[in-house]
Amino acid sequence: MPPQPQIMVDLQMEQVMPHPDLRVIARLISQDPGLSGALLKIVNSPFFGLANRIASIQQAVNLLGCDSVINLINAQSIKGELTDEAIVTLNRFWDTAQDVAMTCLTLAKRIGYQAPDEAYTLGLFHNCGIPLMVKRFPDYMTVLEEAYYSAGGERRVVDTENRLLNTNHAVVGYFTAKSWNLPLHLCEAIASHHNALSIFSDDSGRDAQLKTLLAILKMAEHICQTHWILGNQSEDHEWQSIEQLVLEYVGLSEYDFENLRESIRELGTV
């Protein structure tokens, strides 16, 4: 996945400092899905033999150390040569990925989710299939806009993609996340993030972790207006179909959620 050009510039500026700051490097990397994914793939590889897979960028940077991280950054910069047209197209993806990630982190802390770093990682990576779809299908963003326009009720965003392209960004994102060795429950959340209506309609009590992560993500997407930034739609049709189920699951009234949304926007998260 191509890294965001400005992030690469900022990272290269930091790495030529006499004493590069790993905290600064981790913060910059955590803003970019492609760099974050490449870093997590390495640190979660069998070479490190970790007992548990890592989803925190700061932990990954600390484990790898400065030299290895800088080498990784340089390797990604070689892969990341994009045309001006592709950069403009993907700016919509990069902008919403970072905003949704920060909002997921804030929401996770507000509702008491025990692993806010995982919520951040899901927010950053949930649409990681989009850049790959753009590279494969030149008119993909037009398809995505139609998908958001048609979403709601029994029609999912990914149904339109499946009909027109025989695949979708959630499936591609799932396999990308697996290749990065992300924890399996995060991979499953990425695969399922446009299947929320079915998942929340199932009140059997199964998949509590998946439901909580998806609840955080869908609230964050709505707050960050993903339907507008990626889908070019004034109405969030998907959220309208799942709002009641999601809010009931996390124990928020519509009034509570509106206050939460406004407080997050006032904090400058989005």
Per-residue pLDDT in tens (0 to 9) along the chain, 270 residues:
666 767 877 887 887 788 888 899 999 998 888 888 888 887 887 767 778 888 888 988 888 888 778 767 766 664 555 666 777 777 788 778 888 988 999 999 999 999 988 998 899 889 989 988 988 898 999 999 999 999 987 899 999 999 999 999 999 999 988 888 788 999 999 999 999 999 999 877 678 999 999 999 999 999 999 999 999 999 999 999 999 999 999 999 999 999 999 988 887 655
Give the position of tokens 């909580």.
212
Q: What is the pTM of this model?
A: 0.79
Task: Find out whether 110 and 171 touch, Cβ atoms under 8 Å.
Answer: no
d(CA 84, CA 105): 32
Amino acid letter, 180? W
